[in-house]
Structure formats: C-alpha cells, structure tokens
Chains A and B, each alone.
Chain A
Amino acid sequence: MNSETPFSIAEDWFQKQGWTPFPFQKKTWQAYLDGKNGLLNAPTGSGKTYALWFPIVLDYIRENPNYKKKHPKGLKAVWITPLRALSQEIRQSAERIIEDLDLPLTVGIRTGDTSTKERNAQRKSMPNLLITTPESMQLLLASKGYHKTFRDCRAIVVDEWHELLGTKRGVQMELALSRLKSLSPHMRIWGISATIGNLEQARQVLLGPESAAYRNSVMIRASLNKKIRVISIIPEEIETFPWRGHLGLRLLDRVIPIIQNSKTTLIFTNTRSQCEIWYQKILERYPELAGEMAMHHGSINKDTRIWVEEAIRNEELKAVVCTSSLDLGVDFAPVETVIQIGGPKGVARFMQRAGRSGHRPEKESVIYFLPTHAIELVEASALEQAVAKNAVEDRIPYLSSFDVLVQYLTTLAVSEGFYPSEIFGEVKSTFCFQGITEDQWRWLLNFIVMGSQSLQSYDEYKKVEVEADGRLVVNNRGVAMRHRFQIGTIVGDAHLTVRYQKGGYIGSIEEYFISKLTPGDVFTFAGRNLEFIRIKEMQALVRNSSKKTNKVPSWMGGRLTLSAQMSQLLREELYSANLPTAKQSDAIQCLAPIFRRQEEESLVPGPDTLLIETFKTRDGFHHIFYPFEGRFVHEAMGSLLGFRVSLLSPITFSLAFNDYGFELLSDQEIDIQAIIDNDLFTTSYLLEDLQKSLNSTEMARRKFRDIAVISGMVFTGYPEKGVKMKHLQSSSQLLFEVFKDYEPDNLLYLQAYRETFEHQLEEGRLRMALERISRQEIVWKACNKPTPFSFPIITDRLREKMSSEKLADRIKKMTALLMK
C-alpha cells in the first residue's frame, strides 16, 4: 500500500472541518508513517493532538485493511498526559476522528479518577487507544500480565514532555519506556513538548541516549511564531503601593474592566491559597459576577474541575481564577485574555499561560501581568523583554534518582517478577541511569531484598524475595498492596480529605494546614467558608459557615525560582534605574519614588556594584546581600557565606532569600569588613565549603522526605480509604536521623545531598555568580532602618538555620530570654 492513501484520508478530514493542515502536522504524519520516533515541538492550542492521533489511526488502517470485518482487539496506542484534567480533551479529539472515519477503534481513560469498576473492565479488555498519566502507567506495570497488555501496542505518545522532563515523574516515564521498548520492539515513541531551552536533550532523555530508538528519530518544530503581547498593569500611585506581599489585591479593581471587556478571562495565580483569596475577594467586591466566575486548582474535586472546564468551553464563564492546573493542554477557544498575578518565575511558563488565550494559531495572545509588590514591577518589564527574545529556560533532567529506581524495581517484582540481568541493561540505557555502576545496582538489589547490605541473624525484613531461578518477586500481598498505593505519591505532601460531616467530598488539603486549626476555626477552601469540626481517619470534617475569615490553606508547592536568563534580564532592568528616564521602561519610570527612597536610605546598585545593607530591628541584626541571581543561587550563596562566617567565630543564623538577594539574620552583629577582608566570596574551596554548609542546614533533610516516600521507606497510609496504618507511620525526619547515625553510606540518604547540590543549589550558576561578584565593587551601607529593597526579604518567614555555637550556649541564651 502506498502512503498516499492514508494521507488523503487525513487531508479530506481537515478539509471537511474547513481547516488546512499545518506543515508541522504533515511532517509529523509522514515521519510517523515512515516508522520514525520523534519529538514534536509545538505549543498548546496549535493542533498538536491531531498531529499524532492521525498517523496512529492511519497506521491502523494501513495495517488492518479489513478492519470492518476483522478488528483486532487490545491496546494499540497509549497517550500519556501529566495532568488528569487534559485526558477528556484528548479523548474527544481521538473520538472525533474515529467517528468521522467510522472506525471500530475504542478509546478509554485510565487515571487516578477512573472508577474501580471501569478499571476492572479495562483489565478484561483494554481499549485500543488508552489515555493515561505517568503514575497510572506505572500501576499498569504493577499488574499481572502486563506483558500481554503491551505486546501489540504500536505507539506511545508522551504529551507535555517538558512538564515531566525536570521531575521524577519524568524518570518514571524513562523507566517505563525502557521496559516497553523490550516488550514491543515495533513501538513508536513520540514526545510533544512546548519550547524549552534544551529541546535536543529532551529528545535524548525521552528516547534514551545512544539508543536505536534515538538514532531512528526526528525533531519536528511547529515554529508558529505566535504573537504574544504583554501588558503590565502599573499601579497609579506607587507611593502607596506595598513594598512586600504576594497577593496583589491592591490592583483588584484594575482586573474587573479587563474581565468585562473579554469573552472569557483566565486569571493565573501562583499558589492555591492565592487562588482561593482572589476568587473570594473578586466576588466580595463584585457580587454581580457570581455564577459567571469559577475557580480551578488541583485540590478541588474532580467533578467541579470538569464542570469548570466544560463551562469554559460553552462560554458560560466570564472569568476563572486558577493555578498551574490550567497551564497545559486543553484548548479553550473562548478564552480571549489571560492575567498573570505575581511573578510567574519562568519565561516558558509565562508564555505557555499567555498561549491559553487567542487559541487559533494566527491570533495574537494577550497576557496582563499584575505585580503584587513594588519591586515585582521590575520583573514586569524584564518579562516583556524575555518574551520578545523568546528567552525560555532549560528543564534539567534528573540523574541517578535511586528512589525512583527502587520504586520501579519493586513495581516489576509486584507484577511478574524480574531477572536482574535482563533489567539492568534496560535501566542503564535510560538517560537518568546512564552512569549506574554494577556496584550500585547490586546495592539496590540487596536493599530491596534484604533491607541492608548483608544478611543478619534474626532479621525479619520482608519486601522482595529471590526465587530459585533468580527471579525477584514480591509474594506478600500486603507488601504488594502498600506498594501500589505508594506509586501515586511521587509528588506532594501528606494530604487530608475535606468532607462535610453529613457527607460530600470537597477536596484535599495539606495536613500541615489542618494541624494548625482548632475545632470551631473557620477557613476558606474551594470558594466556601468552612468551619472545622474535627479530624476523623485522615479526613477533616467541616460544615458551612457564614463567619468571615482570613485563614486560607497554604500549599508548600508555591515557591519557584527564576531562571538564569530571567535573572539576567531582571538585573539589567534594575540597573536601568540609574539611566535617564527616556531609556527606561514604563514600569521602572513608575518606580521612581521607590528608587529615590532606596537611594536616600542606601543605594540603587549598578552593574559594577554588590550592595550589602545592615541594620537592626527587634528581630536582631539583619545583613542583606543583593546579587540579583534568583532564589536558588541565593540559597546556595547564603548557606556558603553563612558557613564561612560561622568559621570566624561561633554564631547562629537564620537565612532568608528571594529572587533579589538573601539575608543572614543573627542575634550578633557580623563584621562586614571581615567578610570583605577575608575574601569570603571566593570560588576557592567552593565545593567543599558548600558540602559542609549543607550538613548544617535543613535542605538535604527536606529533600530526603520525597526520597523516603518514593522509595517506599515511609508509608503514608491509605488516605482515600481512610486507613491510617498508624503503627507503620513514621516521619521521614526520624528516618533521616537514623540513617545519619547508623547508615551514612546508604545510597538513598546520600541522594538527598546530591539532589540538593544538583537541583537546588545549582553549583554551576553559583560559581558564575561568585565570579561576577569578584569583578564588582562591594558597597556596604549601614542603614538605620529597613530599606525598600530589603522589605520583601526580611519579612519572609520560611528560613534556613545554621549554627556554629555550642548547643548548651544557645540554650543558655534562649533561657535567659525566657527569664526576662
């Protein structure tokens, strides 16, 4: 059969819709039908779904010319999406093709939202086309007979690959693909990614470096040059605009006309709590919007989310306040305008959000940027420039994530069992584990079989067992059941279900927040005011309340950092404060009074200056440094400098950082001259000092939390089932301590430090930042009170701690304070 026939089917279909296929769509069809793997670089709303559903369907027609009489059963293609919310949309586009072409193909969804009944039905008979998430994909690998399920699968598409790439879910995906490649050698692997800085690497990670699959692959770029217009909302009176804060409510009134002048507006916030507050406040001020406005974030229950998505499509909503839960995929034609509240902390994310509006490719996307505090206005104009220059950031893939590997190996042991020699080759072929040594592999196998590196008498460790023929399997049903529950918990915190006492699920909420409430407290959640009654079996029971409240659940996931490019744009923008007005952007001009105040009390630094400010408040002695390098670099630099200062004499710090600088706060004054004289910003001994500083902060301990959960060392219970399994709950903190004292060479314990290094501290960027500082003049300003620049930093409550004082001495000081 020649390749023209299937092509014409697709082109006919496009014509019937009144569309013309884009060149990138045709290129993808061709490459796919030629048997290639690949990465398709196309933005949301560009028709990327049809770029890949079509060739999958065409290939089926080509392979089964008699499909009307003889339709083969079983799984033909898998479509992976990182967000459950997208699965409906993807299904609809597949169904549309299938119906129009009158094909007997079936489409199904399998995610955490799928009912047990439906899942069981799928187990008996898989749909031909399956839409699922990385977690559900792992669960499929954890079920008996998965070999058969995937045997005839011809295609796997990983959608929004850029979202998975820099995360451990991406590692999960790499491992799953390494298995599927062996099971079904003819499977084609395709990724779809928005534009990121390291697209070429993204293709390598997806397909495996140096693999046959990679060699037989193509990169297709949609290059749709979509126009994005960024409009910054500039406060009219900068004098009264707050110096700190993250809510941005001051500019609420400016949002209303934007909503009114547009069919549908999406209002993006950075955190779920911010989302809740904005929704409440808009309704309070403009009650007439009730019924025309909705809220969408990850903790709201599925039915509500689906209802909101439908309502957007049906043009029933004027505005939706949302979080990253609406970042991806789904095309919402009626969305004309997007508003971003607060810094999006990433150009790619900002552009993606902008792309939610003006969904047809030739239409211009409009995004408004609403700053939440004065200094963020600097970010506003940096963002405009970044968008113009298309300065998107890299997504750094994980390397050697042993926690994910431990989970994966247990998964294989739960379903069919595995032979280590067979799986080692597959694992080593992935990007993440390209560097794994035989020693490490043996260590991991010992770890899942014996729970240690040598067999000890009296030990009752039970997880994976070795069969006589060398196969590693899980025989214990309890172990298998607990493991299946753990697979979905690769992200996130301990969550509680929020329910009405009379019944009715509202959503899920971080345990941390609930633990701070006492019965009778009222809080805002899912757009309602709820009174907390009590906790029962991992559920928070509540009732509606008419009381007003300002308690809004916080989600820890809200803190993001700036990319290197964005930090640079931000710095340049800030330095322009010293230029003549004509050369400044609107935002910087508007900030003039703030800069004047900063100049009076301290200094507005230029490119050749590193500013250090010191002052005293009732909190203690503040020492603030402004390298303008982004939160992660500041976190690293703060720990490094703190560590080096603490070597000079015993001292205790608390460290705070934001995208502009960092603070060392202490009960003692640091001699800044000593920092300069001792050259404490030097790059010599950087690695060593950074490593040592890590031991004295909490960073690695926090990283360990996820590692412990993912690798199954701590069990989080069955929140959905309301089973607590209290006798098996321990905190990862406790476990971290025990490893530190008794098993410091444990690979998973060491991973916590390595991850902090590679993903949190970004040593490379730190080195460059220090080199830049070495060429700058250090200017130390001893101030009388907090300056405008310092305000957002010193009011940050989330802090690192570091001390070189004796514990007993610290207790003595604190006790003396109590006596006063």
Chain B
Amino acid sequence: MQVTRRTFLKVCATGVGTSSLTLLGFAPDTALAEMRSFKLARATETRNTCPYCSVGCGILMYGLGAGAKNVQGRIFHIEGDPDHPVNRGTLCPKGAGLLDFIHSDTRLTQPEYRAPGSREWQPIAWDDAFTRIAALMKADRDANFEAVNQDGSTVNRWNSTGFLAASASSNETGYLTHKVVRSLGMLAFDNQARV
C-alpha cells in the first residue's frame, strides 16, 4: 500500500485515541536506497492537548516502546495536530518545546521529605508520605474543626489547613480534589483563576 506521510497521519487519526501503525499493518513502501527505517514508522501516535495557555491546541505525541510488559514508553517527538480546528497543525514557541518539558532535568521522580530545620531533602516511600500527611491533617482537623460558630450556627469548617489546586490539571483531577477538600470542611481553597 502506498502511504504518504500525510495519509499516514490520517490513518492514525481514525477511530481510537492511540493506534500502533504496525499493528494496523501500514508502513511506507521501502525506498531503494533506504539506510534504516524511519523512527516515525515504528511510533505510537497519541493525541493530547497543549498544557500551557487556554487556546487548547491539539498536539500529536510520538512515542516508542508502548504496550509490551517491562518496556518503558518514551515520547520522542511532538507536533501540532493538523486536524484540530483551532491550531490546524501549528504550535507556538511554548508548545514547540513541550518535548523538553516531559524530559526536563527538574522533573520530580520520587517523593521527598524535608524535616523541620533541615537543610536537605530526604527520600520517603509513598506509603510513608501518605500516612504522615494524613496524620498531620487529622491532628490539625480534629484540633481546629469548627462545628458551630459563636452564634450557635452549624458551620462544619476547617480553616487551619488550605489547598491550592492546579489549573493545568484535568477536570477529572479537579473534580476529585474539590470533593475531597469540601468533605474535609476546607474553605481556604483556590486555584490559579484567583491570580
């Protein structure tokens, strides 16, 4: 089958969110003088949205190694989604650098803890971090929870701990965060929409 790069992308763009080209059985015809196959031909294309400003540009992420057990997928290329009605394949200087965001030297890779008065971070296991944080929260909440105010009205609030949510996180994260925060009685709650 004759597949140009453009139709190639269109093939990927049909149906499901992620599709492996080789699985679908499509690949460009072999060129006579080819030295090695294009990396893109072995790539998995995934649709995503640029996480920076609110234009919401569509992006295509190309990765290798997805699917197999014990094989860590790695995104190696990102470009604008030509099917997206707003950005139509273009990206700005921020969106064009997204690959380096994913692989930034300053990405966090393990939970860390800083003790009172300490100059250093130290690693902490997830479960220990969750347990310690929950214990701090419970101690503070149980000590400072206000069930009724001075007028005797039911207020059920916890004002001594606050939460800033992330306006680059998904709706699903935001919804879950809101539910949890309010169930605890927190009012000191904001996201970047405030600033």
Genuine A/B complex? no
Q: Which residues of A contact B (CB under 8 A)?
A: none
